[in-house]
């Protein structure tokens, strides 16, 4: 028996040494993986500053040639993974600035198109959460605009800031921006961080995964880990820069930029629960909501309806969507997030926008046109 025990005891230090060596090797592999991940990020094609996101070709023949080259690149195989809902963490001022920058980019890049604007907005919010880009909405929109070349969105450095927009167009764009900041996801473009029109062919275009086409724009994500959902790990924390100052910086490079448009002059100043418009007939009171807690909306409505009798309160999360008078236009009705009514007997009915408020029973959701 003793003869059998000696080899066994001799194997223990050998096995221990092997385990230690394996742990060291595994540690080195994991450590080198972290270094490689950072190196991968630094080598990605189409990083900020490498080239403009959009560039106007010099001739119609070049445009036709670009369209042919783009058509030859196949779309990525498999389903398009939608982006996660954007989680807004910031002040009322941050929300106002982020809304302004998103709306401006959406109008300048996609015109009045609903799906075009939503696609552009989604790319911007995807970038905010990706380590390769700026950490604020306005920072992403104006990234590179302080240089004569390298702007990520060409409208910030090609003179397009001087365009003017109608109040209606500006309000519609702000409504879409507000919905995206509130968690709306435009699924068709997935985790795209890049796009370009079909009449240009940036050097990075064939090196990225082509995901979708929305009107004349093609949308792309990075291949490998940096185009997967875990890569979008940057947490948004507000601290939005002043877009007016960013416009001024862009104007210093290429004079001609106009002040940012505004549809509702006092919208950024409105505090949560403030009555924006009180109808003397008691038909309704318009208020601005804050956060996504149903109890807070209901409490604000009860504060407004602090007198006996019939009372109604309509609430919006986006100040730009609040109408200034009756009748309520379709765009404002579509953005309505809270409806409260109380009859003379004290009976209350509260309905909620279930895309904005979480955990609401279906029977308490505001009906939406399909």
Residue numbers in the chain where pLDDT is lower than 70: 1-35, 49-59, 144-165, 246-283, 290-291, 324-326, 369-370
Report CA-CA distances (Å) from 202 to 66, 185, 287: 9, 27, 46
pLDDT score of 121:
96
pLDDT score of 130:
95
pLDDT score of 17:
58
Q: Where do the domains of the chain lie, and which CATH numbers do they carry? A: 44-253 (1.10.10.2520), 267-364 (no CATH)
Helix, strand and coil percent figures for the chain, each rounded to 5 = 45, 10, 45
Taking the C-alpha atoms of residue 107 and residue 165, their distance in angstroms, rounded to an integer, is 8
pLDDT score of 20:
58
Place of tokens 């490998």: 224
pLDDT score of 11:
56
Taking the C-alpha atoms of residue 210 and residue 184, their distance in angstroms, rounded to an integer, is 23
């Amino acid at each position: 028996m003793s003869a059998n025990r000696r080899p066994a005891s001799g194997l223990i230090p050998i096995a221990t040494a092997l385990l230690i060596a394996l742990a060291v090797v595994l540690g080195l592999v994991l450590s080198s993986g972290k270094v490689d991940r950072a190196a991968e990020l630094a080598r990605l094609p189409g990083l900020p500053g490498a080239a403009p996101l959009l560039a106007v070709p010099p001739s119609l023949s070049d445009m036709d040639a670009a369209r042919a080259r783009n058509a030859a690149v196949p779309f990525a195989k498999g389903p398009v993974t939608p982006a996660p809902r954007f989680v807004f963490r910031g002040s009322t001022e941050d929300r106002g600035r982020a809304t302004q920058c998103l709306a401006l980019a959406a109008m300048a890049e996609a015109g009045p198109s609903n799906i075009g604007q939503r696609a552009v907005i989604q790319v911007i919010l995807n970038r905010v959460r990706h380590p390769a880009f700026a950490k604020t909405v306005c920072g992403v929109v104006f990234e590179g605009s302080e240089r004569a070349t390298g702007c990520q969105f060409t409208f910030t450095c090609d003179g397009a800031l001087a365009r003017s927009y109608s109040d209606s167009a500006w309000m519609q764009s702000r409504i879409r921006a507000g919905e995206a900041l509130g968690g709306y996801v435009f699924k068709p473009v997935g985790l795209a961080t890049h796009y370009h029109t079909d009449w240009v062919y940036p050097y990075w275009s064939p090196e990225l995964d082509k995901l979708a086409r929305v009107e004349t724009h093609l949308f792309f994500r990075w291949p490998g880990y940096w185009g997967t959902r875990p890569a979008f790990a940057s947490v948004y924390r507000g601290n939005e820069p002043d877009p007016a100052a960013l416009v001024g910086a862009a104007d210093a490079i290429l004079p001609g930029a106009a002040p940012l448009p505004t549809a509702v002059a006092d919208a950024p100043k409105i505090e949560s629960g403030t009555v924006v418009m009180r109808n003397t007939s008691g038909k309704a009171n318009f208020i601005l909501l804050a956060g996504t807690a149903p109890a807070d909306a209901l409490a604000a409505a009860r504060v407004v309806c602090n007198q006996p009798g019939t009372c109604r309160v309509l609430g919006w999360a986006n100040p730009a969507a609040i109408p200034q008078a009756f009748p309520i236009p379709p765009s404002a009705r579509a953005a309505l997030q809270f409806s409260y009514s109380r009859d003379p007997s004290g009976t209350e009915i509260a309905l909620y926008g279930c895309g904005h408020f979480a955990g609401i029973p279906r029977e308490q959701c505001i009906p939406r046109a399909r």
